[in-house]
């Protein structure tokens, strides 16, 4: 049976997520390697079977789901070994359209990075700005029910824990296990907490100027695993440094803390969207989908951190520029990078409707070119439309923005009825009973 080293990495990637490992010590533990070994045989068998299937059927291309986890990674690597193009398919962030990434798995940053760089300097029309901002408004209003997961739905607004702090820096760590092992996501810091230590030293930050918000995800079970490894890793660091730490199960509003901060520190997390939209400095200490969007402050390496500076709260022009670039990032992430946005529409996090008229030739072209074209390639000639929307954001008019954004959606044709085969219908009923994200 042929062996694929890259398919082997798929087993490691699956193990990282199944066990929700976080620290360097976690990934060197017997527990991690035991899970990886349990997946190895099935992954290699899937690779061998997929390679035979490609050769037997003389396939010219493969479209596959995910491409990151064990068996799906095995199919992807079989396509790569056979020398044929492939496209990975995944759910989009906000539900509409399809995430299609040519010749990379669902975590790849190459395609997204190119698109972000291509569109970040092009203004949005008023309608485009409204379409983008309504998703951000829904997050602030806690009505983002089309996203895969919903956290801290009973959040309470709290004041900044250290009211007299001269500077207010919010640390918002993510879950490293979600992208561990992918070459595009490799950190240049030895550990995430080492990056925090370097940040403190670089700007002579006092413990009273920092708040660490543990991710609400860590207080929930995903499958059989909880998030205790990540929570313990960051909580232990905060205790050593005397930094105020908010537990994952605390209902304190992360959005409220972002509102009251001067800057947030992220390592790929989605909190950058809300923070950037509010004009907060977004200090990025790791790779992300927005690393080419222009609104982050690069601290992804020791050298980058040394070249970076903290943004004064009084620098209103730069903060306005951050908000503008974040708005454009949101539009690209929701309406340009996803494909068939007008034809694949999310009703809920798990239910969809499909509309007539989509051009299948776009997918064929993606295979042939190995690159994506923007689903919406239009833009404005000036910033006036953005200015109107950003002024409403500065006034925190989330209800109005949500309503206006809904009003500019124009959908083609009528939905096409797509019926699930009878054997899958009970699965859908059971799945809808689970909390969002556990489905």
305: CATH: 3.40.50.2000
Centroid of chain to Cα 200: 26
54 and 145 within one domain: no
Query: Maximum distance among all alpha carbons in the chain?
Result: 70
Low pLDDT (below 50) residues in the chain: 438-439
176 and 53 within one domain: no
Task: Spell out a b/e string for 241-273, using b for 16 or more CB atoms within 10 Å of the CB, else e.
Answer: bebbbbebebebbbbebbbbbbbbbbbbbbbbb
Query: Count of alpha carbons within 13 Å of 52, Cβ hemisphere only?
Result: 9
Whether 202 maps to a domain, the answer reads yes
What pLDDT score was predicted for residue 351? Answer: 85
Domain encompassing residue 255? 117-335
Phi, psi of 385 (to 5 degrees): -65, -40
Whether 315 maps to a domain, the answer reads yes
170 and 314 within one domain: yes
What pLDDT score was predicted for residue 19? Answer: 96
What pLDDT score was predicted for residue 438? Answer: 47
DSSP 102-159: ETS-TT--HHHHHHHHHHTTSPPPHHHHHHHHHHHHHHHTT--TTSS----TT-B---
CA distance 171 to 169: 6
Are the beta carbons of 439 and 349 closer than 8 angstroms?
yes
What pLDDT score was predicted for residue 419? Answer: 77
Token reading at 237: 């660091």
Radius of gyration of the chain (CA): 22
134 and 36 within one domain: no
Total structural domains within the chain? 2
Whether 77 maps to a domain, the answer reads yes
What pLDDT score was predicted for residue 337? Answer: 99
167 and 284 within one domain: yes
What pLDDT score was predicted for residue 439? Answer: 38
CA distance 156 to 142: 12
């Amino acid at each position: 049976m042929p062996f694929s080293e890259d398919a082997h990495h798929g087993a490691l990637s699956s193990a990282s997520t199944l066990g929700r490992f976080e620290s360097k010590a976690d990934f060197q533990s017997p527990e991690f390697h035991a899970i990886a070994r349990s997946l190895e045989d099935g992954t290699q068998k899937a690779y061998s079977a997929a390679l035979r299937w490609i050769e037997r059927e003389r396939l010219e291309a493969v479209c596959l789901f995910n491409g990151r986890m064990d068996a799906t990674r095995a199919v992807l690597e079989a396509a790569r070994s056979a020398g044929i193009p492939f496209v990975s398919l995944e759910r989009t962030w906000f539900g509409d359209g399809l995430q299609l990434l040519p010749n990379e798995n669902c975590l790849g940053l190459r395609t997204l990075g190119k698109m972000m760089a291509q569109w970040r300097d092009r203004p949005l029309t008023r309608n485009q700005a409204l379409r983008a901002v309504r998703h951000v408004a829904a997050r602030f209003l806690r009505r983002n029910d089309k996203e895969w997961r919903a956290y801290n739905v009973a959040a309470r607004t709290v004041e900044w824990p250290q009211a007299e702090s001269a500077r207010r820096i919010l640390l918002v760590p993510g879950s490293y296990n979600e992208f561990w092992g992918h070459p595009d996501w490799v950190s240049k810091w030895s550990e995430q907490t080492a990056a925090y230590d370097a940040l403190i030293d670089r700007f002579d930050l006092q413990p009273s100027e920092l708040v660490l918000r543990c991710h609400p995800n860590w207080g929930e079970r995903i499958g059989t695993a909880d998030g205790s490894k990540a929570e313990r890793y960051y909580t232990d660091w905060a205790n050593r440094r005397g930094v105020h730490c908010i537990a994952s199960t605390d209902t304190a509003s992360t959005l409220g803390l972002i509102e009251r901060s001067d800057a947030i520190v992220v390592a790929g997390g989605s909190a950058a969207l809300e923070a950037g939209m509010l004009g907060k400095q977004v200090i990025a200490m790791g790779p992300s989908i927005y690393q080419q969007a222009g609104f982050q402050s690069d601290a992804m390496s020791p050298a980058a951190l040394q070249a970076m500076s903290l943004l004064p709260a009084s620098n209103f022009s730069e903060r306005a520029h951050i908000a503008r670039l974040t708005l454009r990032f949101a539009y690209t992430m929701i309406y340009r990078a996803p494909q068939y946005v007008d034809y694949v529409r999310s009703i809920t996090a798990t239910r969809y409707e499909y509309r007539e008229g989509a051009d299948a030739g776009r997918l064929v072209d993606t295979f042939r070119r190995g690159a994506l074209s923007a689903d919406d390639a239009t833009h404005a000639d000036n910033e006036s439309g953005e200015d109107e929307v950003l002024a409403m954001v500065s006034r925190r008019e989330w209800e109005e923005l949500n309503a206006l954004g809904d009003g500019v959606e124009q959908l083609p044709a009528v939905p096409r009825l797509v019926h699930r085969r009878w054997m899958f219908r009970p699965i859908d009923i059971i799945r809808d009973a689970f909390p969002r994200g556990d489905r």
